[in-house]
């Protein structure tokens, strides 16, 4: 289709020049543009399709960047990027050197707050509203949060705080799962316009001034209002928290959305506008299966099918999920927990076989960990499957509720290391450093999917906290028959030699092996390659027995260098009296860019080529 109207929008000023009757056509073009542009590269499609009209309405009425629009998570910010001068960059989104897949302050002045993790928008928006008032300014502050992100306790902490004060701010609840309001129609939209309108609010304020002088009258009137509104709107909860509730409103109908949103911008104090949208609207596969189409790789526009993986081996996530389900077949103590990511962590497979033993707690990682602690204290063996970057949000609970009490909770840390297109907000670069320092914790990292299965079996033999980290992506297609537990704390010798020692963590072992084999074949240097397996307890005996005085020591780990296992091994080597050429390949004290996993590993010298180059430097 033609994108003439969309191509005329180079910024918000161009949008404001349109007539209101042109906005539906712009929405149609934007929706089709997103579907076609993301097809060859993938991305977060469904969320963006659901907020096209809402995004247009916000930028049509507000004046960004003076007015602040904070998008929770950022998955739904693709239309926002288009309207704020980044249309030409959309084919590069989440690609190496291209646009970020989330809002990013350094990318545009229209991104007032960076996002990538959920439930942060209301806190950030309230901070901006308070700062505005302290500075005696008058700009609008709007937070857009989905009903999924509202399952995170942090969102309610922010609502509780903001609702207790009079700072003007608008929270837009983008309800796309019908979890709060199952019905919306002309009557509810009409009521939302009336409730948000100037006449209603002035009458309410006048009545309040009169009734406050009559003992008990104001409380009685408030109860009557809440009772009446409670029969037609689901906003009593938000009203009780101090927010003026408006809605629900059809988020795809400009006739209802524009006037209601306009009214909300004139209201004082904290206001919540409840907008009903449909995730994936305009692309039937995304509408029918919103979880799959939330974020995915390349797909075919005509068939609506993701491109086939061409016979690639199973992913680490799939191998984990199948193994855990197998273990649960014979051990009824095993339960699985996820924080709103049953598909991403593979637990939909577990749920199919053990539906009564799989728990999705919502976007509530802190609760997930302490919930697991309660299960473990009652004789169960919980397995908490969470992405590395999200587990950071529950660090205190890991320490206080699990490790101090030495409870047998296993943390299955998915997406550990480089994740690729999602970039800094999703890179699992800290889990090695923050788990290996915890008393009572056993930490493991498999070099392939077969070792992942053995580590899961090993976890059941450990009566205490366990962390198993594994990467995003596919395994190597190795044989998966061996599921015998590993000897606790014992490293594996992959190659033996007398010319130096290479120590690896997790899947970096495969690339390190290529480097070691190349050095043996081309440079006639025989190195020992040690796969740690256990980061904690550390196999100090194996390390010391293979250190050769004056010979190189190279440590390779896909995690942050500061606080990583490399520092501990270096200290061990030096205190033992060893000296020789030394190098530590790890992630630097900086957040990585976004791109493919291969591109980022290359930039960090953590691929086979980088490891080989550093090894040859040490041997020179």
Residues labelled catalytic: 279, 365, 393
Distant-in-sequence, close-in-space partners of 448: CB < 8 Å, separation ≥ 6: 475, 476, 478, 507, 509, 510
Per the listing, tokens 């790890």 go with 586
The runs of H, that is alpha helices, within 446-588 are 449-459, 508-518, 540-546, 565-575
- Distances in Å between the Cα of 548 and the Cα atoms of 277, 497, 502, 575 are 65, 10, 11, 14
Q: Is 135 helix (H, G, I), strand (E, B) or coil?
A: coil
User: To which H or E segment does residue 274 belong?
Assistant: strand 270-276
Q: Is 411 helix (H, G, I), strand (E, B) or coil?
A: strand
- Reading the block at residue 405, the tokens are 């009490």
Backbone angles phi, psi at 141, to 5 degrees: -130, 120
DSSP summary character for residue 402: I
Q: What is the dihedral of CA 396, 400, 402, 406, to 10 degrees?
A: 140
Helix axis angle, 23-38 to 52-61, nearest 10°: 130
DSSP letters for 456-486 = HHHHTT-SS-EEEE--SSB---------PPP
The runs of H, that is alpha helices, within 164-197 are 186-196
- Distances in Å between the Cα of 22 and the Cα atoms of 16, 251, 476 are 11, 17, 52
Q: Is 255 helix (H, G, I), strand (E, B) or coil?
A: helix
- Reading the block at residue 303, the tokens are 């068939």
* Strand 381-387 relative to strand 410-414, pairing: parallel
Whole-angstrom Cα distance, residue 598 to residue 511?
A: 12
Distant-in-sequence, close-in-space partners of 213: CB < 8 Å, separation ≥ 6: none
User: To which H or E segment does residue 616 belong?
Assistant: helix 608-619
Whole-angstrom Cα distance, residue 533 to residue 583?
A: 20
Q: Verify cis geometry, omega within 30 degrees of 0, for the bond prior to 253.
A: no
């Amino acid at each position: 289709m033609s994108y003439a109207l969309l191509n005329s929008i180079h910024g918000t000023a161009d949008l404001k020049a349109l007539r209101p009757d042109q906005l539906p056509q712009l929405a149609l073009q934007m929706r089709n543009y997103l579907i076609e542009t993301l097809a060859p590269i993938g991305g977060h499609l469904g969320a963006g399709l659901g907020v096209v009209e809402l995004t247009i309405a916000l930028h049509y009425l507000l004046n960004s960047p003076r007015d602040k629009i904070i998008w929770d998570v950022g998955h739904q910010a693709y239309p926002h990027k288009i309207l704020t001068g980044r249309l030409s960059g959309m084919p590069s989104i989440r690609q190496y050197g291209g646009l970020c897949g989330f809002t990013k302050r350094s990318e545009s002045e229209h991104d007032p707050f960076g996002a990538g993790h959920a439930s942060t928008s209301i806190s950030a928006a309230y901070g901006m509203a308070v700062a505005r008032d302290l500075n005696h300014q008058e700009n609008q502050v709007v937070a857009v949060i989905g009903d999924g992100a509202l399952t995170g306790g942090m969102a309610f902490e922010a609502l509780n705080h903001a609702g207790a004060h009079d700072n003007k701010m608008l929270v837009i609840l983008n309800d796309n799962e019908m979890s709060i309001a199952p019905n919306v129609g002309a009557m509810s939209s009409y009521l939302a316009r009336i409730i948000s309108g100037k006449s209603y609010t002035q009458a309410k304020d006048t009545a309040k001034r009169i009734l406050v002088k009559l003992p008990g009258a104001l409380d009685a009137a408030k109860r009557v209002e809440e009772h009446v509104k409670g029969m037609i709107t689901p906003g009593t909860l938000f009203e009780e928290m101090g927010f003026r509730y408006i809605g629900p409103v059809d988020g795809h109908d400009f006739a209802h959305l524009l006037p209601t949103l306009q009214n909300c911008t004139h209201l004082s104090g904290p206001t919540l506008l409840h907008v009903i949208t449909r995730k994936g609207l305009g692309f039937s596969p995304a509408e029918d299966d919103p979880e799959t189409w939330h974020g995915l790789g390349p797909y075919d526009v005509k068939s609506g099918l993701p491109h086939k993986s061409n016979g690639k081996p199973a992913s680490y996530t799939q191998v984990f999920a199948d193994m855990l389900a197998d273990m649960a077949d014979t051990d009824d103590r095993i339960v699985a927990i996820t924080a709103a990511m049953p598909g991403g962590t593979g637990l939909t497979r577990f749920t199919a076989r053990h539906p009564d033993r799989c728990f999705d707690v919502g976007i509530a990682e802190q609760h997930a960990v302490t919930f697991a602690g309660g299960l473990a204290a009652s004789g169960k063996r919980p397995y908490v499957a969470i992405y590395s970057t999200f587990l950071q949000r529950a660090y205190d609970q890991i320490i206080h509720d699990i490790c101090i009490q030495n409870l047998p909770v296993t943390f299955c840390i998915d997406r550990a290391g480089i994740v690729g297109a999602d970039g800094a907000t999703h890179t699992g670069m800290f889990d090695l450093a923050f788990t290996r320092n915890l008393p009572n914790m056993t930490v493991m990292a498999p070099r392939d999917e077969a070792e992942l299965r053995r580590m899961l079996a090993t976890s059941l033999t450990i009566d205490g906290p366990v962390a198993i980290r594994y990467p995003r992506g596919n395994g190597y297609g190795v044989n998966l028959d061996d599921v015998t537990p590993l000897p606790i704390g014992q490293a594996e010798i992959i190659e033996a030699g007398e010319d130096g020692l290479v120590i690896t963590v997790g899947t970096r072992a495969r690339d390190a092996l290529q480097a070691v084999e190349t050095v043996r074949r081309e440079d006639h240097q025989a190195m020992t390659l040690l796969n740690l397996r256990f980061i904690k307890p550390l196999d100090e005996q194996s390390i010391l027995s293979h250190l050769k005085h004056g010979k190189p020591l190279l440590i390779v780990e896909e995690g942050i260098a500061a606080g990583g296992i490399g520092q501990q091994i270096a200290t061990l080597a030096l205190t033992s009296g060893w000296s020789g050429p030394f190098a530590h390949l790890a992630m630097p004290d900086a957040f990585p860019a976004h791109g493919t996993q291969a591109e980022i590993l290359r930039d960090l010298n953590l691929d086979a080529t980088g490891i080989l180059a550093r090894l040859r430097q040490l041997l020179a």
